[in-house]
């Protein structure tokens, strides 16, 4: 199969990491994949695709509507299928273009948000139009891939996507995220993913500052940066919390795998990428008790603990023993290795092969 993968803005690099891992699985099964980012300024450039096209727009600003429509119209008919990363813009334009092409490829969407909750968090004045577009257009995708069941349930319940077109599969770890087993209980907390207004890193910074005042100093490692990373850094400096910002990469993963705790501060999470990477690095996990990815991955308690949304008391009470008690830390460390092994390419390749076959047959 000849497949085109379209991606929009990816300031934090996490969706690029997802694309790279999935492409590696399908490419190993004999499919040809072409990656075409529509914007520049991306932190993570995938390496698993057969072809990496230059971005349509050289900057992080999306291309103009007419430029995008013209480029897609000239390109899409050459492929058997097109996978679009969800960004509430590109997927709508792709569906518009596909209605004008003679040879229509299979159209698939990689959904990375619990969309109903995400739009509700943006406010009615902002979300009204994309919500209506999603309600009208999402059912026209032949298949929508999700990485957690909560995201699929949201699309079915709130946006009318038929259940038969929703495919939930375990995310394969990228080749560079190889568990090392060398992690140690270091005094630091790691976050992975774009620092946006919805990420909630500011609450984590306040929690680390409170722990420092209690004699439990810990630094913050932010992987991925993002539009609010500078603001977070200023707040951290004012509260005397050391901060390091690293780009998403194999070298960064090896640094993260030296040890510490991974915290997922976001309420809206439809992929769980940061949690799976944290487990692969051998770190205990903590996360805001969000209804999708965190609830699915941490519900049993073997990998770590959930904390209350916006609760400094819950956050500090959860992090303190993991930063001070090597025995408590080690128990979660051992469980993380078991879960990480379930997300290797060898373990999930069969799932993605069956998912692709199902998506190719779905009409």
Position 65 in a domain = yes
Residues 209, 164 within the same domain: no
76 DSSP 8-state letter? G
Instruction: Give DSSP secondary structure letters for 304-331.
Output: EEEE-TT-HHHHHHHHHHHHH-HHHHHH
Asked whether residue 202 is assigned to any structural domain, the reply reads yes
How far apart (Å, rounded) are the C-alpha atoms in residues 256 and 51? Answer: 29
Domain count, the chain: 2
Residue 302 and residue 252 share a domain: yes
CB proximity list for 356: less than 8 A, separation 6 or greater = 1, 26, 29, 31
| CATH code assigned at 129 | 3.40.50.2000
Residue range 146-169, pLDDT digits in tens: 998 989 999 999 898 999 999 999
The whole-angstrom separation of Cα 210 and Cα 202 is 12
Position 87 scores a pLDDT of 86
pLDDT computed for residue 198 by the predictor: 65
127/6 same-domain check: yes
- What's the pLDDT score for residue 12? 59
One domain for residues 209 and 305? yes
Tokens of 277: 């990477």
Residues 104 and 141 in one domain: yes
Low-confidence ranges of the chain (pLDDT < 70): 9-13, 99-103, 124-125, 197-198, 362-363
Q: DSSP letter at 164?
A: G
Encode pLDDT of 205-249 as tens digits. Answer: 999 999 999 999 999 999 987 777 888 899 999 999 999 999 888
Residue 354, domain member (yes or no): yes
DSSP letters, 330-352, are HHHHHHHHHHHHTTSHHHHHHHH
Residue 150 shares a structural domain with residue 298: no
Residue 325 lies in a domain: yes
Predicted confidence at residue 102, as pLDDT, reads 60
Joined together, the tokens standing for residue 6 give 């379209």
CB 223 within 8 A of CB 252: yes
Quick check: is 322 in a domain?
Answer: yes
Q: Read off the pTM.
A: 0.90
Q: Report yes or no on 179 lying in a domain.
A: no
Question: Containing H/E element for 261?
Answer: strand 259-264
Strand order in the sheet with 184-192: 243-246, 219-223, 184-192, 259-264, 285-288, 304-307
Residue 72's Cβ-count burial label (10 Å; 0-12, 13-18, 19+) is buried
* Residue at 178 is within a domain: no
Nearest to 295 by CA among 266, 326, 338, 255: 266
Is residue 217 located within the same domain as residue 328? yes
Tokens found for residue 152: 């699929």
Q: How far apart are CA 27 and CA 35, in angstroms?
A: 12
Over the Cα atoms of the chain, what is R_g? Answer: 20
Decide: 175 and 152 in contact? Cβ < 8 Å: no
301 and 206, same domain (yes or no): yes
Q: In terms of residue numbers, what domain contains 289?
A: 184-341
The reported pLDDT for the residue numbered 197 is: 66
The answer on 192 and 267 residing in a single domain is yes
| Same domain for 198 and 134 | no
User: Between β-strands 304-307 and 81-85, what pairing exists: parallel, antiparallel or unpaired?
Assistant: unpaired
Q: Are residues 78 and 193 in the same domain?
A: no
Q: 106-135 burial, b if ≥16 CB within 10 A, otherwise e?
A: bbbbbbbbbbbbbbeebeeeebeebbeebe
Q: How far is CA 148 from CA 151, 270, 291, 346, in A?
A: 6, 6, 11, 19
Note whether residue 21 is domain-resident. yes
Query: Both 148 and 219 in a single domain?
Result: no
């Amino acid at each position: 199969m000849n497949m085109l993968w379209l991606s929009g803005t990816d300031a934090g690099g996490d969706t690029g990491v997802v694309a790279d891992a999935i492409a590696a699985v399908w490419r190993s099964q004999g499919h040809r994949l072409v990656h075409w980012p529509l914007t520049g300024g991306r932190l993570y450039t995938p390496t698993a695709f057969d072809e990496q096209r230059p971005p349509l727009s050289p900057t992080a600003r999306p291309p103009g509507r007419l430029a995008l429509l013209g480029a897609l119209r000239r390109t899409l008919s050459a492929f058997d299928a097109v996978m679009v990363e969800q960004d509430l813009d590109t997927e709508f334009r792709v569906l518009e273009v596909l209605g004008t092409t003679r040879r229509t490829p299979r159209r698939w969407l990689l959904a990375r948000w619990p969309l109903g909750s995400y739009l509700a968090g943006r406010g009615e004045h902002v979300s009204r139009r994309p919500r209506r577009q999603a309600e009208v257009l999402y059912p026209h995708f032949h298949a929508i891939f999700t990485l957690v069941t909560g995201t699929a349930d949201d699309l079915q319940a709130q946006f009318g996507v038929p259940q038969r077109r929703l495919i939930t599969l375990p995310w394969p770890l990228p080749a560079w995220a190889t568990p090392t087993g060398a992690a140690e209980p270091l005094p630091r907390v790691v976050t992975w993913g774009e620092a946006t207004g919805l990420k909630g890193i500011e609450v984590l910074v306040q929690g680390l500052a409170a722990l420092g005042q209690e004699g439990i100093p810990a630094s913050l490692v932010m992987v991925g940066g993002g539009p609010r990373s500078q603001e977070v850094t200023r707040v951290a400096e004012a509260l005397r919390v050391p901060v390091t910002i690293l780009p998403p990469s194999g070298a960064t993963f090896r640094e993260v795998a030296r040890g510490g705790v991974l915290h997922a501060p976001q309420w809206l999470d439809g992929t769980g990428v940061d949690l799976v990477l944290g487990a692969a690095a051998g770190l205990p996990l903590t996360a805001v008790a969000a209804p999708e990815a965190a609830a699915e991955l941490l519900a049993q308690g073997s990998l770590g603990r959930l904390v209350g949304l916006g609760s400094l008391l819950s956050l500090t009470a959860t992090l303190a023993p993991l930063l001070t008690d090597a025995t408590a830390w080690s128990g979660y460390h051992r469980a993380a290795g078991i879960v990480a092994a379930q997300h290797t390419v060898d373990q999930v390749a069969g799932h993605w092969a069956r998912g692709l076959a199902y998506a190719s047959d779905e009409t």
